[in-house]
Structures are given as structure tokens and as C-alpha cells.
Structure 1
Amino acid sequence: MNTDPVAYIRQTIRSVPDWPKPGVTFRDITPVLQDPRSFRVLVDLFVYRYMRQRLDLVAGIDARGFILGSVLAYELNLGFVPVRKQGKLPHRTLSEDYSLEYGNAAVEMHDDAVKPGQRVLLIDDLIATGGTMLAATKLLQRLGANVVEAACIIDLPELKGSETITATGLPVYSVCQF
């Protein structure tokens, strides 16, 4: 194993050329999740970063943000809040629209998912253009949460998503960049 945990995670991520369309290289975290050692290293990177911060909740973005977010919430002894794609939650929700390169989408949360003043870590697997992360941040803030940081496994800096997010004043942490 590479002794640099970030390099180890980066080399475990699979690159899939021309998916979902020609010219796009998909960054697949499945190999990281499938291997117990790499999954533990990944979770530990986040745990060590956040274990001494005062947080109340971890919010994970549908769907891969649920995987890491729920494990991280458990390890940090925090609650977990799912930020879902529109139409997936059974109770009263708030919704936030955002733009994609090929159209529009929306994310939702239950309207009682957070309490005003709660400190929330927002997590997803990847930041590309930043639209989903910004929409989730707006939802959390509408409920009165203080989003402490936006975190992800992979940042795609050429798409300028993290730059867009940090321009709003929200810090961004990513394990690795492609």
C-alpha cells in the first residue's frame, strides 16, 4: 500500500473513459468502497479532519453522499440528514432547484431535518460544477443551519465547482483532485 493515504485513495478510484458520453471520464469510487482497507482509509481521512470540530449533523447528498455521510455521522456520533433527489421523501419537504449542463434538477429535504443554529457538514462523492452542493447548502441555510464545510472525495477543478462554492464563503475540502 502507498503510505500516503490521499495518493492511495486517488489510485484506487477507477477512471472510466467516455462514460456517460464520449469525451467524459467518469471517476468511479466503487473500487474504494469495495476494498475494506481503502474504504477505511477514506473514512479515517474524514474522521480525523472533523473529529475535533463542533458539529451537530452530517448531511449527505443523494446518492453516493449517503454512503460516506452516514458512515461519517456514525463515526463522529452525529445525526445524518439525507438531501434527496426530488420526489423521494415521504414527509413535508423544502426544495431547491439547480442547473445541470443538460437541464434542471432539484434536491429536497424534510422541512424538520435541521434546527436553526445547528452546525452541519455537507458531503458528497464529487464536486463538478458545484450546482448540487450549492442547492443543498441553500436548503440547509433556509432551515437555519450553519453549513460548516462542503466536503467530497473528488474535486474536478477544471469545472470550477469548488471555486464557485468557495466564492460564496463556504469552505470546501476534497480528498483528491482529477
Structure 2
Amino acid sequence: IHPLSDGVPRQSGEMLEEARDIVMEMVDWDAIDLILGIEAMGIPLAACLSIATGKPLVIGRKRAYELPGEVIIDQSTGYSKGSIFINDIKPNERVFVVDDVISTGGTLRAVLTAVENAGAIVQDVVAVFEKGSIVSEIVAETGWPIRSLVRVRMEGEQVILLD
């Protein structure tokens, strides 16, 4: 349990600023047209990045608006199954995707595939936490530019930092 991935204990403004500043330095913002944050815990960092960069923000939501062009993503993770709904992604837009945690990669694969199916370009992807080695497997398989701030492995209830 961590404030940036679970919202418990509460997130401090200072913690969000630190995460924002690290991501700001990782990304070539001139190559980004749109920020896509994944509900729920990807939203706070995505909003901070949108404010800092002036780039527009869309949210991958767990609720449909049924607007024209809405992209529906059926996703399955090691924890749940459901749908994510994305609106207002345009063809050829260079999209930066931000999320809190990559565990099984199920949500991320589904979202990035949907971005490409909408005709947009997956320009960069950053998650706060990466559990295990799934990101390297996805990158090797797809070529998507995926990075994380912190890599961890779980051993029972113990969190092991990988780098």
C-alpha cells in the first residue's frame, strides 16, 4: 500500500510534485500531443503533468459516456475484469500514457492497443510502480516505450526494490 498507487495513506502535495518532477525530466514533451491517465490512481499524476506541460488530458474511465468515437477496452488483470472507456483520442496524436502500477500488464496492453487502434501513436508510457519483470516482456514483444519510476517484487507481504 502506497499513497501514489492506493491513495492510502493520503497523498501529500509534495509527494505528487516529486513524482511529477521526475516524470517531467523523463519525457520529451515536445513529442507529446495528449496525456492519457488511467482511472483511478493514474489521474492525480496525469492531472499534475497536464497542468505543468499545458498538454490536454483525457482519462481512461471505468464508466461509459457513450459518446461518438468512444473506445471501449475489455481488459483483464490478475485482480479483476472489466472495461475501460476512452474518449477524444484523434488519429496521429502522439499520446503519453501514465498509470500508477503495472502488475500483470493486462490493463496496459489493452489501453495501448486501443490507442493504436484509434489511429494514435503510443509515444511514451510511464508508470510509478512496476511489479516484477512484465514491462521488459511487453517492450520486447511490442516495442512500446514503457518505463517506470520504481521496480519492485513482492515476496509474500515484503516489498523488494529492484532498482
TM superposition score normalised by structure 1:
0.74
Confirm whether residue 73 of structure 1 aligns to residue 50 of structure 2: yes
Q: Which deviations, in whole Å up to 9, do the C-alpha atoms of 1:17-45 show, x marking residues without a partner?
A: xxxxxxxxxx64545x6223222111100
| 2:107 matched residue in structure 1 | 132
Give the gaps of 5 or more residues in structure 2: 153-163
Q: Which runs of 4+ in 1 moved over 6 A?
A: none
Structure 2 counterpart of 1:168, from 109, 124, 142: 142
Shift of 1:90: 4.9
Trace 1:1-178 onto structure 2 (pairs within 5 A): 14=2, 28=6, 30-31=8-9, 34-85=11-62, 87-92=63-68, 93-101=70-78, 104-110=81-87, 113-157=88-132, 160-166=133-139, 167-178=141-152
Q: Secondary structure at the match of 1:170?
A: coil
Q: What is the identity, as a one-letter code, of the residue corresponding to 2:101?
A: L
* Mapped partners of 1:81, 1:52: distance in 2: 16
What is the percent sequence identity of the aligned residues?
26
* Structure with max Cα Rg: 1
* Mapped partners of 2:89, 2:24: distance in 1: 21
Q: Secondary structure at the match of 1:64?
A: coil
TM superposition score normalised by structure 2:
0.80
| Number of corresponding residues | 149
Q: Secondary structure at the match of 2:31?
A: coil
The answer to whether the 8 Å contact 1:64/1:124 transfers is: yes
Q: CA RMSD in A?
A: 2.2
* Mapped partners of 2:76, 2:30: distance in 1: 32
Q: What is the identity, as a one-letter code, of the residue corresponding to 2:27?
A: Y
Q: What is the identity, as a one-letter code, of the residue corresponding to 1:91?
A: L
The answer to whether the 8 Å contact 2:129/2:151 transfers is: yes
